[in-house]
Structure 1
């Protein structure tokens, strides 16, 4: 292999591509090609190697005593730790005749000292390592769509007035600013006056233009920070159904506004079209067309390199709007206010991207006849099936009488879940706890959750059993479990569910109303229930496993195959394998944390 070929080979192996030209030359000059036959022990606790290995061809297995914990293939490398710390607890043995590069220890350690980025990869904590690997994996897909900040788009100068200012004076000032938006500052807070507000609250009502601005301004003005991701600002615009949003600097001062049209022109994406179709839908067919467009939106966002939690958030908001509009179209207006249409499970957590199943219910005000709602709920389920939302295998759907009843009946049910628990009751409670109101009177759901929190006071034993579900499914402790023995692994059971259930258990205990897993993690961090290190690790691992799941699901969707949670591990690249291995390590550590926190080992 020529020097040029060697450099090309190494440049494809992370983190060698970060080496400078001179450092790469040093590396190549101090590297040899070696051959080892099958069953050769390269290193062990008793035999510390003086080389860093990079596989050209062959397979090496890593053992912890007699248990294989990792297998290394072409372009894999090992073992930096033994060179840096001068010891290893594991044995590395050739499984298939090996041809490899050997980089001597002295050169390897020199490169670590000379190149901070090279050093960081081997010495960083797990979260930073995952972030580096993710950046390496997805950098080629990144676009301005993903990395643009609010400051990258047009921020319109604010026409700012203080409370007490006459409306007429404020309007004259806005004309000088050549803007139709007036921002009102009052007691350190900000409000907004728009043209449409002037028409509705002044012109149509015949009010005097000498009134103070705060009498008609809307408080508070929804705002974002200048250095926030523009995509997050766009999500807020979509969620709130607003056309503009305030922009603050790092000191919390309002510096201007961004308009929806400017954000749209920056992204020029399909999302706004879908949102508009949902808003304008006057028939079930109109709504179906908008719902069907969600798949194209997911594909577009994923192709642009947008992070999964961003996609999940935006698609989740659009999905909720589909449900809300459907409730309005199906249920007679006079019945809507006496009930609350809710979504549960992954939809309630805003974490369902591809339409996988329905998890929904109806809560009806006490004293109102539930029977009058049943035909509409049957129709709702059938329409959702037609929209492409598969039926729930557990029949957790609003057409099921169990999930369509009065507030008092739900309270009896939650009492039963707690006082006579079994696995089904635990799961019903878990699904219900993740519920989110999408239509009707949301106060009914708030009332139910207040009642649930009160019932769980001092129920430590129940919470231990509830949290034990986190351990229901095994998570691989070694990547060899699925890289050499099986092509498929259910990523939901092995990684997604343990994080969701563990965090859900902590959130239930801490009376946290937020339903989204990542936001729950951040609140638990604020409450000091989770350490900063564990919280960051969980967020990173959750992102990795959901990204791999979405990628697999989109491939199956494209191939016309059934959508499930299995990923074909033999199709994973080196970096994806490393990300998955580290994520599984985090999940297993989290399971231990949940076991300790809820004292699960003390219950039978």
Structure 2
């Protein structure tokens, strides 16, 4: 490659186009072409290179803790940090024979010092760093799809029948397998019968259901290997215009069916795959495996810029299905119908995205012995902990007898919360009011809330004290007050909780059954309790605050830190700091509104 070609090549790669002519010449004069065969290790924590790599041809994979996190192709460069800081947390291996430029480390570091734009790209300022991290997560997700194998996605158990099986018997077996696809084995090959084939070849032609399956099956069944690239399977499905293919192992034995919808879902964000796995889970271990991928869905959706409200709703729905299936797997059928398993607090509001704790309870019909539920509820708590839902520090869990009792006992409890209020009772009531029925007899919870609403009639003083909790934590009023030396703020205390509690207080007073904060705001807006401007501002502020918290929590998970609600304000760019400042102004204004609405200044 000539010097002119080298210059043209580099000029198309950001940020090399910002180098002036002298710097570009210096770069080219100290750059060689190198070749590395497949499986070569270029960089790892024990081996820091003396070169900056720019790929001409080939593929390099980046691994962290043996997990593939990124792949690099034509015109990509990687791990400037290893040269700048002298260390790397990743291992970079050649996946496909590599031809690349090697720029000497000494020259690379000199260029960084000589050109500020060049330097800023590799030493991101805080604003750019956030966007870069978002793009990196998104690219990583796409890369993981492109190198995913068939075995990495959902493979359905195949309903296989032998030739000479009567069609009516095959249909009965397919119903048992909960599938609409019948696989027919004839000698050493497989065929397929689908619903559409049954309609065309049996119903429309008026054929007898006692015919043999091989009379209508389509042979051969198209298949892919379990270690094929998923992208290749998708290409086959699209090319042939079919909805499913068989999956075989290294011995060419059929091990399952791959559906087009599952492949497309994997390409998107795995949501449908997880949903299907939850539905089809027959054991606790299968359910645990299904729920383990929720964090990847969260990362993907967040990286793609999906609003946090939509993410929380989706994850809340999937969590609900996990709880429901777990309840069905643990509690005997005869006991399930006489109780209602509920989630409360942030889970009840569909606002717990990352697994931070579990708030749940069981409401049991009057006249049914509570003690028979205790061992199953203990197992529920222990299993959820094993699934990654941390134990609630306040012990608001179904294994706690306080949160596992008959309807009448809950009615007595809510009466006590109202008639003899203290801070703990206020919070217990708040948590319970946010409850959502997940499994069992949902009417038990509906009737309990009716009973609660009736008790609150003409309880203005109680409601004032209940709403006063909105003011529990101070909300900073200026940038300087939260950009302190410690620079960590508990974003839940200063912003999220005041909105949640204030809106919850209004919803309780107005007897609104909806539990989600944003939906409560919209209902209060429709009822003219909140002016349009305030409602819209609260929704936007709530979204900003929850987004900043989610971003911080994903970073904590990535760094294997304990999950909390703290946001490092020094890591925020100017735009995010401005958004945070404006959101906190809205929170302060809302607090004043709550004080005025509930006449909190009139109580001690």
TM-score by structure 2 length? Answer: 0.57
Q: Distance in 2 between matches of 1:312 and 1:263?
A: 24
Contact kept, 8 Å, 1:142 with 1:306, in 2: the verdict is no
Q: Distance in 1 between matches of 2:596 and 2:461?
A: 13
Matched residues, number:
364
Aligned to 2:438: 438
Aligned to 1:496: 496
Which deviates more from structure 2 when the two are superposed, residues 485-494 or residues 395-404? Answer: 485-494
Aligned to 1:45: none
Q: Structure 1 residues 471, 288: closer, same or farther in 2, change over 3 A?
A: same
SS of corresponding position for 2:292: helix
CA deviation vs aligned residue, 1:240-268 (integer Å, no higher than 9, x gap): xxxxxxxxxxxxxxxxxxxx959956963
- Mapping for residues 38-53 of structure 1, pairs under 5 Å: none
Q: Distance in 2 between matches of 1:601 and 1:423?
A: 18
Q: Distance in 2 between matches of 1:264 and 1:460?
A: 54
1:479 aligns with 2:479: yes
- Mapping for residues 176-191 of structure 1, pairs under 5 Å: none
Long gaps (5+) in structure 1: 1-133, 146-194, 204-259
Q: Distance in 1 between matches of 2:578 and 2:360?
A: 37
SS of corresponding position for 1:448: helix
Q: Structure 1 residues 265, 413: closer, same or farther in 2, change over 3 A?
A: closer
CA deviation vs aligned residue, 1:346-386 (integer Å, no higher than 9, x gap): 00000000000010000000000010000000000000110
Q: Structure 1 residues 266, 361: closer, same or farther in 2, change over 3 A?
A: closer
Contact kept, 8 Å, 1:138 with 1:305, in 2: the verdict is no
Aligned to 1:124: none
Contact kept, 8 Å, 1:142 with 1:305, in 2: the verdict is no
Long gaps (5+) in structure 2: 1-126, 139-194, 204-259
Q: Distance in 1 between matches of 2:336 and 2:553?
A: 36
Aligned to 2:518: 518
Q: Distance in 2 between matches of 1:262 and 1:528?
A: 44
Post-superposition shift, 1:486? 2.7
Aligned to 1:405: 405
CA deviation vs aligned residue, 1:217-252 (integer Å, no higher than 9, x gap): xxxxxxxxxxxxxxxxxxxxxxxxxxxxxxxxxxxx
Post-superposition shift, 1:305? 1.3
1:276 aligns with 2:282: no
Aligned to 1:553: 553
Post-superposition shift, 1:344? 0.1
Post-superposition shift, 1:269? 2.2
Q: Structure 1 residues 139, 510: closer, same or farther in 2, change over 3 A?
A: farther
SS of corresponding position for 1:358: coil
Q: Structure 1 residues 469, 449: closer, same or farther in 2, change over 3 A?
A: same
TM-score by structure 1 length? Answer: 0.57
Q: Distance in 2 between matches of 1:142 and 1:350?
A: 27
Aligned to 1:578: 578
CA deviation vs aligned residue, 1:500-545 (integer Å, no higher than 9, x gap): 0000000000000000000000000000000000000000000000
Contact kept, 8 Å, 2:320 with 2:438, in 1: the verdict is yes
Q: Distance in 2 between matches of 1:567 and 1:283?
A: 38
Post-superposition shift, 1:421? 0.2
- Mapping for residues 158-177 of structure 1, pairs under 5 Å: none
SS of corresponding position for 1:484: coil
Post-superposition shift, 1:598? 0.2
CA deviation vs aligned residue, 1:183-226 (integer Å, no higher than 9, x gap): xxxxxxxxxxxx99x99xxx9xxxxxxxxxxxxxxxxxxxxxxx
Q: Distance in 2 between matches of 1:378 and 1:367?
A: 21
SS of corresponding position for 1:457: coil
- Mapping for residues 58-69 of structure 1, pairs under 5 Å: none
- Mapping for residues 208-287 of structure 1, pairs under 5 Å: 261=261, 264=264, 268-287=268-287
Q: Distance in 2 between matches of 1:450 and 1:603?
A: 28
CA deviation vs aligned residue, 1:93-116 (integer Å, no higher than 9, x gap): xxxxxxxxxxxxxxxxxxxxxxxx
Q: Distance in 2 between matches of 1:266 and 1:401?
A: 41
Post-superposition shift, 1:572? 0.6
Contact kept, 8 Å, 1:476 with 1:494, in 2: the verdict is yes
- Mapping for residues 113-512 of structure 1, pairs under 5 Å: 261=261, 264=264, 268-512=268-512
Post-superposition shift, 1:553? 0.5
Post-superposition shift, 1:300? 1.2
1:602 aligns with 2:588: no
Post-superposition shift, 1:141? 6.1
Contact kept, 8 Å, 2:298 with 2:311, in 1: the verdict is yes
CA deviation vs aligned residue, 1:124-179 (integer Å, no higher than 9, x gap): xxxxxxxxxx9xx9799699x9xxxxxxxxxxxxxxxxxxxxxxxxxxxxxxxxxx
Q: Distance in 2 between matches of 1:263 and 1:472?
A: 48
Contact kept, 8 Å, 2:278 with 2:290, in 1: the verdict is yes
Post-superposition shift, 1:484? 3.3
CA deviation vs aligned residue, 1:534-562 (integer Å, no higher than 9, x gap): 00000000000000000000011001111
Post-superposition shift, 1:306? 1.1
Q: Distance in 2 between matches of 1:303 and 1:569?
A: 20
SS of corresponding position for 1:438: strand
SS of corresponding position for 2:405: strand
CA deviation vs aligned residue, 1:409-459 (integer Å, no higher than 9, x gap): 000000000000000000000000000000000000000000000000110
Q: Which runs of 4+ in 1 moved over 3 A?
A: 137-143, 260-267
Contact kept, 8 Å, 1:521 with 1:539, in 2: the verdict is yes
Q: Distance in 1 between matches of 2:397 and 2:585?
A: 35
Aligned to 2:531: 531
Contact kept, 8 Å, 2:262 with 2:273, in 1: the verdict is no
SS of corresponding position for 1:432: helix
CA RMSD of the aligned region, Å? 2.8
Q: Structure 1 residues 397, 417: closer, same or farther in 2, change over 3 A?
A: same
Contact kept, 8 Å, 2:328 with 2:336, in 1: the verdict is yes
Aligned to 1:33: none
CA deviation vs aligned residue, 1:472-517 (integer Å, no higher than 9, x gap): 0000011101113431000000000000000000000000000000
Contact kept, 8 Å, 1:326 with 1:380, in 2: the verdict is yes
Q: Structure 1 residues 430, 138: closer, same or farther in 2, change over 3 A?
A: farther
Q: Distance in 2 between matches of 1:293 and 1:365?
A: 35
Q: Structure 1 residues 348, 567: closer, same or farther in 2, change over 3 A?
A: same
Aligned to 1:120: none
Q: Structure 1 residues 139, 590: closer, same or farther in 2, change over 3 A?
A: farther
SS of corresponding position for 1:562: coil
Q: Distance in 2 between matches of 1:351 and 1:469?
A: 19
Contact kept, 8 Å, 1:364 with 1:407, in 2: the verdict is yes
SS of corresponding position for 1:567: strand
Q: Structure 1 residues 272, 535: closer, same or farther in 2, change over 3 A?
A: same
